[in-house]
Structure 1
């Protein structure tokens, strides 16, 4: 069994990610302890109702259509319907089922008593201002068929916003796969704890914006479900900020706050080296050394006066051919290698992998590693390693895990354990997997980051953070800590830029420039929240 959760982990109950089976076990424990099912349904539906009223006020969305499923998801929807009715909304129910569970049937009967209008066809829902999907939630295991499937197909072609309760109907709660057809939600209100399926990239076109609606899961109900495994968690500002190299010692100097080495760039991809270096500089690292092909050295110096730039011998194609003679690895706390190198720099990547330095590999560093037993080479390294692949790179690196795992995040977790490394599987919901089994999801990202060079900035940022952590102590979780901080910081910056400039206005160069400003805003916000909480508790 896991040890009791401490104070920091009191927030764990709203960041833990569970499977359908784990959530069902948590709910069973709550009911066995005496919580009536009907009482929990009322509590949850009350929270959903308040969210609906806040985000879809009656003066703008007076007509609400509600899909009612046969189980307790449908019961939740009926309680929401009742409460919205009492607040003056016009309610239209669609329940394409002849038989429903007893509790759902009771709420259905009371809705009839209140005069809530029902329809037997889905077409009328298209006249509503909002649709609430209470069809199927947790644990659906078979494809949707019949009238419900046909109705969902019709609704998905419309423009009415849809709010799904717990999960969009038709979505597998563990894998995020669509079971035949699924509701294409505008918002999904995930109940109690985060569901694993909602955090998979494949689910995002159906989930829309995902929001957690906590209902105070007792830690005593959660602990037995987690057993001795580290639970998957969602990144939070608290978790990320706690892993940043802050505050600095008042007597810090450039040699005590990390020396990072970036090996990057080629004549063909000079920009990758610049962007990765800008990410490292934004991290606050004390010293940055960059190795680039000699033909790029003066250009890089002119753009990056903050860094020490070393020109290396290059191949006829303009790639780095070899590191300078008598290279001293001991000077550097962390090395990052890969952005813009091209395949012609294989000799250099090989030397980097054989070094005893903590290592971040990206882009062509990953492509080189994929050629020959990446698990074997990484698992024998004496220092921590972090890989930052996108899905295509990951599939080339670890095809066996991709083929056997239920989900991409599951594949990343298997690979991290097998290769004894940390993996950032980049995507809409980036997953961070560690060799000890920890798995983290970044639920707050932005499609504005879908730009060339964004990953190079992330490589430099995570290298810079790791280099600042290394002088304190090179630990087994150093790369995990750096990844958690960097992925969150990188994503928050993308979101902030998109809020001002739209999803189209976040080029990688702007992303790197805005990193310090956005971090300052986040730190101020976190400080204000702590101060408010302390004031209330006092």
Structure 2
């Protein structure tokens, strides 16, 4: 099948149990999800299966500057703390620009056609001039364009020094069609006004001709606070985030303008770095999967001692959701997976998951009433929602879910059925839960439960977690995870090619299965585990994209999660 093709009248078993479980019925016509092209770096696979373990008390991820995700105001405050401690402004500029220069010089083949540096009037322009100096000293052809008469003194000094190196200074805007790398050092941190005059005109020319720059800290013309273009903007192929990634760079509209995001550390003192990480969201990178060491059950534990998960998923209309959630749960390595079998789900068990234990069935199809939900407390975790379809809130059954003392993971129509109570009642129901609760909504599902929350995806996840006293995973191009205690995480990278119908079912099953495994060790549910599941799930998509495949399905992602070398497989081997 090619991308965007339509499938007519395929058998239910073919869809639910075999090649196409992510395809949904729609009045007899089946539409396949469409992915969006996006270039991202693959995750590192250099970590050995025999990597030394880290004590469970060590925070995850380790305190590194690449994990800082700051607002422009917080980044400015961090810089001022460095200055107040005695770091000269000139020294910090030199340190940042030299680190960035080394990053650029490492990509020597890209520099063969020369480099054009666009220089602004402030310290971002000064960074660009230091880069121009270093590239010229390394023997590369460099030109600079600075259309501003008044510059900050430090930037003016760097521009004057380039005369000694015979670096060409352009009198008129460069031509975007000319080959070579363009480095955008016009404006950086805290942009609030749109570009003007010749700079704005050049940005529009650059956009029209399809050129992409290498941006110093922030693409010029983009708000690093809201992630919204302020007007004409210089689109970037690479954005080198100095000191910390700015939150606006992860905004939905910003992603196509930022390109590949690369943090450039400034060498923040460890004590100050720990303070920043304690109060700021944590930015997660694919390599962080390899540093998390999971809680483990006793070595002699049998199948029931390695995590017991019950899944209530799928329906006649969405039988594929059952298969996909099962595939995700299977990839987690949970010892015993029990499932309520929807109509059409038998093929999935026989064809792909014969080891799954049958908890019950629903011959009525969409109207899942889940009779006989007593005895739930023998399970470590319970997943409710993927593909169960719409239905009224059932007080008796939901009272059993509320009293369940294990971890409850609510996804998709599980969230929608709860939201049918009304926002106030639904949130009160969640706050009264006997055990820990994880919610995994996309934007529309979150709005049904919590209304229109202000701010970016991180702000919205935080507000929802506080209101419901749960851990919330808010799906999106850069998924955010927030705990009710204030901790929060966001993914730095993801594959747009993986954005297919059914991908969330795999994530829900994988997260619930990992949690069941970890809970079997005797530790209480930790919101960090949901962040780990989201990161590994997103990284599996990146790895598939890096393999060169034109397209891949949610089942491919589930298979990648279960592959040798995956997070779940590594932690199984460690035990």
**TM-score, scaled to structure 2:** 0.83
Cα drift, residue 211 of structure 1: 0.6
Cα drift, residue 7 of structure 1: 8.5
Q: Which shifted more, 213-222 or 249-258?
A: 213-222
Q: Is the 8 A contact 2:122 2:187 kept in 1?
A: yes
Q: Is the 8 A contact 2:117 2:143 kept in 1?
A: yes
1:154 matches 2:202: no
SS at match of 1:291: strand
Tell me how far apart the structure 1 counterparts of residues 226 and 176 of structure 2 sit (CA, whole Å). 29
1:49 matches 2:96: no
Cα drift, residue 314 of structure 1: 4.2
Tell me how far apart the structure 2 counterparts of residues 415 and 92 of structure 1 sit (CA, whole Å). 50
SS at match of 2:547: helix
Where does residue 325 of structure 2 map in the other structure? 276
Of 398, 401, 407 in structure 2, the residue corresponding to residue 358 of structure 1 is 407
Q: Which shifted more, 60-69 or 94-103?
A: 60-69
Where does residue 536 of structure 1 map in the other structure? none
RMSD, matched Cα: 2.6
SS at match of 2:466: helix
Where does residue 177 of structure 1 map in the other structure? 228
Of 156, 165, 174 in structure 2, the residue corresponding to residue 105 of structure 1 is 156
Cα drift, residue 9 of structure 1: 7.4
1:16 matches 2:16: no
Cα drift, residue 350 of structure 1: 3.4
Of 293, 312, 327 in structure 1, the residue corresponding to residue 342 of structure 2 is 293
Cα drift, residue 464 of structure 1: 0.3
Where does residue 490 of structure 1 map in the other structure? 537
Q: Is the 8 A contact 1:321 1:345 kept in 2?
A: no
Cα drift, residue 421 of structure 1: 0.9
Of 483, 499, 502 in structure 2, the residue corresponding to residue 450 of structure 1 is 499
Of 443, 458, 471 in structure 1, the residue corresponding to residue 520 of structure 2 is 471
Q: Deviations over 1:133-162 (max 9, x none)?
A: 101111112222222122111112234341
Cα drift, residue 238 of structure 1: 6.8
Tell me how far apart the structure 2 counterparts of residues 126 and 100 of structure 1 sit (CA, whole Å). 28
Tell me how far apart the structure 2 counterparts of residues 422 and 383 of structure 1 sit (CA, whole Å). 12
Superposed counterparts of 1:330-349, under 5 Å: 330-344=377-391, 346-347=393-394
Per chain length, whose mean CA-contact separation is higher, i.e. which structure has more relative contact order (CA < 8 Å, sep 6+)? Answer: 2
Of 548, 551, 572 in structure 2, the residue corresponding to residue 505 of structure 1 is 551
Q: 1:243 to 1:336 in 2, by over 3 A?
A: farther
Cα drift, residue 237 of structure 1: 5.5
SS at match of 2:142: strand
Q: Which shifted more, 353-362 or 86-95?
A: 353-362
Cα drift, residue 242 of structure 1: 5.3
**TM-score, scaled to structure 1:** 0.88
Where does residue 25 of structure 1 map in the other structure? 77
Q: 1:285 to 1:85 in 2, by over 3 A?
A: same
Where does residue 64 of structure 1 map in the other structure? 115
SS at match of 1:393: helix
Where does residue 416 of structure 2 map in the other structure? 367
Of 242, 249, 260 in structure 2, the residue corresponding to residue 191 of structure 1 is 242
Cα drift, residue 239 of structure 1: 5.1
Tell me how far apart the structure 2 counterparts of residues 382 and 125 of structure 1 sit (CA, whole Å). 61
Where does residue 515 of structure 1 map in the other structure? 561
Q: Is the 8 A contact 2:296 2:520 kept in 1?
A: no
Q: Which shifted more, 253-262 or 35-44?
A: 35-44
Cα drift, residue 264 of structure 1: 0.6
Where does residue 534 of structure 1 map in the other structure? none
1:130 matches 2:178: no
Tell me how far apart the structure 2 counterparts of residues 76 and 505 of structure 1 sit (CA, whole Å). 40
Tell me how far apart the structure 2 counterparts of residues 15 and 68 of structure 1 sit (CA, whole Å). 28
Cα drift, residue 241 of structure 1: 4.6
Q: Deviations over 1:44-68 (max 9, x none)?
A: 111111111212436x533111111
Q: Deviations over 1:76-126 (max 9, x none)?
A: 001101111111222121222221111111111112332222224334243
Where does residue 328 of structure 1 map in the other structure? 375
1:306 matches 2:355: yes
Of 228, 234, 239 in structure 1, the residue corresponding to residue 283 of structure 2 is 234
SS at match of 2:201: helix
Q: Is the 8 A contact 1:489 1:519 kept in 2?
A: no
User: What are the ranges of 5 or more consecutive residues in structure 1 without an aligned counterpart?
Assistant: 528-538
The alignment of Structure 1 onto Structure 2 pairs a total of residues equal to: 511
Tell me how far apart the structure 2 counterparts of residues 352 and 376 of structure 1 sit (CA, whole Å). 16
Q: Deviations over 1:432-469 (max 9, x none)?
A: 11111111011122112111211111110000011112
User: What are the ranges of 5 or more consecutive residues in structure 2 without an aligned counterpart?
Assistant: 1-56
SS at match of 1:344: coil
1:480 matches 2:527: yes
Cα drift, residue 349 of structure 1: 7.3
Where does residue 427 of structure 1 map in the other structure? 476
Q: Deviations over 1:360-395 (max 9, x none)?
A: 111111222232223222122121111111222223
Of 443, 456, 461 in structure 2, the residue corresponding to residue 391 of structure 1 is 443
Q: 1:349 to 1:298 in 2, by over 3 A?
A: farther
SS at match of 1:511: helix
